[in-house]
Structures are given as structure tokens and as C-alpha cells.
Amino acid sequence: MKLLPALPYLDIRFFTSILLVMGLSTPGKAEITSLDTGNIEEILNNAGVALVNFYADWCRFSQMLHPIFEEASNLAREEYPDITQVVFARVDCDQHSDIAQRYRISKYPTLKMFRNGMMMKREYRGQRSVAAIADFIRQQKVDPIKEVNSLEELNKVDRSKRNIIGYFETKDSDGYHTFEKVANILRDDCVFFAAFGEVSQTERFSGDNVIFKPVGEAVPDMVFLGSLPSFDLSYAWTQDKCVPLVREITFENGEELTEEGIPFLILFHVKEDTESLEQFQQEVARQLISEKGSINFLHADCEKFRHPLLHIQKTPAECPVIAIDSFRHMYVFPEFKDLMIHGKLRQFVLDLHSGKLHREFHHGPDPTDSTPGQEDMIEVVASNPPESSFQKLAPSETRYTILSRDRDEL
């Protein structure tokens, strides 16, 4: 009988790694908890940090992730032996469609982060490798609160960022435990500081307290007036201060913002042009606060997002420019100076929701908006709006199995 030659060691390692990626080899025992309707509340509520893989067995991307997720879980268990510190879990979305529906899963695989049972807004969208996932967990375990040893340190905080400062008599208090929970949830949105004992004494004349230092040197501090031990009150107040009404869109958060599925109202501005940004923020707050939830208010760096500008026949030299991206088309606000006209920006957004912007770009002005004698000119001014630019930042079909709208109900 003719024997096949033995494979060199490196070749065996190579084929083993291929099997690992394909999911045909098990990289050791993995401690991954399968979640269902009976255990999901208890498991997540008792986990300091939980990374949950929402998957479908028929999805090839889910199949490729399984061995990587398992190996990352093994690594995390070695570094964090306490099973309540870090939990790796998974949900079979075909078997538990009710859970998938609850967390609005629209693609496979989706890796969502939970802290003490609360789902974080930002999911894991990084590289699908053992090292990258393990490093992400390490970052999540870093204490987001910086303890200050002198109040003079607080005079040097970066005022280009949003800062939350807590003054406590001791770490062993209900108020500080709530402060820790809130800081962990909003760690990506604010910078958190805390002072204790004698260091904080002069700021605790009426008891423990928390203040917010907004962006800008001349902007006054704001004091939290609610009950510090109350998580709901503390979280609501801190979120309102840390998450701005007008957020910056970048290539790093573009996928996340696009996946929210609501149109963008975007100010394109030169990075150094803070005056235009402030005007835009003020008018959005004044005219459009009731539209929050139906449209995303964003601002973007003209240079970084040069391509979408060119797409609407604008250049960075013409900034500031305001536009709407509906994920079908882009519509340009007439003139930036019109922003200050009462109700003009609001009407621009309402015209999007009513379909008027879409109709006018395709068919010309609505007859009710035409002056007498102009009806015959409608065909001349009709045009086609540019297609969406930011839709291209949505989750890619080269990384995910995207669920079509008729499967959203899972």
C-alpha cells in the first residue's frame, strides 16, 4: 500500500487554521452561554459586561465567526475568571425570533454589548479576530472614571470635550455606585472624573454632588439637582448632557448612524468653523426639537466628506452647506444664511417627511407653489436629485447577511 508523505508541521498548522475559520475544528472548550427566553434576563442582569452574538446557522458569516468568538471567550475567561465580570453569550435567532425582534436584529452576525442587563447603543463592529475581540473586552473593563487627587487638576480638563465631575465623601455610597454605572454606559460620550474625601470637601457643602462642564471655556457649569442614588434620574440627566443633539458623523461611526434607519440632516462645515456649527445647533434646538427621533441631526468635516459634497455639486470652498440624505436621494438646503429665517429649516425637514422634496425634484414645484403663468414651465425646472451618498456607509454585504424588509419580523 502506497503511503502519502507526511505533511510538514507548518502545513498542518495551516490546514488547522483553515478548519478553524470554517468552523470544522473546535479550538478547545468554550464557555459561551446560549440565551433563551427563560434565562436571558438573569444572565444579562448579573453580568458586568456581556458580549452577545446574534446569529443564524445558515449565515456563512455567522459560521465563520463561531470559532473566533469561542476562542475569544476562552481568552477572556483566562483574564477575567469571575464569571459575572465578563460573559460571552449567543442567541440563535431562528430558534428565538422573539429575542431577535426585541433587540431589532437586522443583520447576521450582530455583536451587541450589555452592561448589567442594559443594552449599549454601540455594538461591536471591529475586526472579527480573536485578538481584536479580546482587546475590545479589555477596553470595556478599563475604569472610565479618573480619580483626581487635587481640585487643581480639574482646572486643566479638556474643554473641547464634555466632562462630568462627581464630588463624593466616599466610594462606598449608593450615589457613587450609581455614578459608576452611568459612567460605564456613557464612557464613549463623556469624560468622567471623581474626587473623594478631603479633596472634594469644599465642593460638598450641601452633600455629594455631580456637575457637568460643557464644551467651551466660557460656558458655565451645570449641577445635577436630582437624587444621586436614582439610576433613572442620573442616567437621563447625564445622557442629555453627554449625547449632543447634533452629533458628528465620521467614517468610524457612519455604519452605526446609517443603521439607525432614519434620514440625515447634515451640516457640512470646515473643521475650524465653529461659528456655523453653533448657529446650526441653535436652530436645530429651536426649530426641530420635536422632530428628534424622525431625523438624525449631524455635522461633518467638509474635507473628510468631500465626495458627498461633490455628489451634490458643492465643494469644500462653498461650505457651510446643509443637506438632507434620505438614503434614497440627497437634497440641498437653498442657502446657509436662510438658516436664520424662522421656520425655514423646519419646513425643509417637513417637506422631506411629506414627500414634497421628492416630488419637486422629480416633477418640478408643486402647483400650489407656482405663481400664475408658470405652470407650463414645470417640465423645464424638473430634475433628478443626486442619489444617497451616506447609504454606502451602511453595513456591507461582504461582512453581514442583511435581512430584507420582508424578513424584519423574523
pLDDT per position as a tens digit, 78-97 = 999 988 899 999 999 999 99
In which region does residue 197 sit, left (phi positive, over 0), alpha (psi from -120 to 50) or beta (all else)? left
Residues 6+ apart with CB under 8 A from 238: 164, 182, 186, 190, 210, 212, 224
Per-residue confidence (pLDDT) for residue 366, from 0 to 100: 59
Alpha carbon distance 158, 216 (integer Å): 9
Alpha carbon distance 396, 74 (integer Å): 28
Alpha carbon distance 385, 86 (integer Å): 49
- Average of pLDDT values for 390-396? 87
* Res. 368 pLDDT band, cuts 50 70 90: low
Model's pTM, two decimal places?
Answer: 0.78
pLDDT at position 65 over 60: yes
Alpha carbon distance 196, 204 (integer Å): 10
Neighbour tally for 114: CB within 10 Å? 21
Alpha carbon distance 76, 264 (integer Å): 38
* Res. 128 pLDDT band, cuts 50 70 90: very high
pLDDT at position 16 over 50: no
* Res. 383 pLDDT band, cuts 50 70 90: low
The CA-CA-CA angle for residues 134, 138, 142, to 5°, reads: 170
pLDDT per position as a tens digit, 330-358 = 999 999 999 999 999 999 999 999 988 87
Amino acid (one-letter) located at 77: R
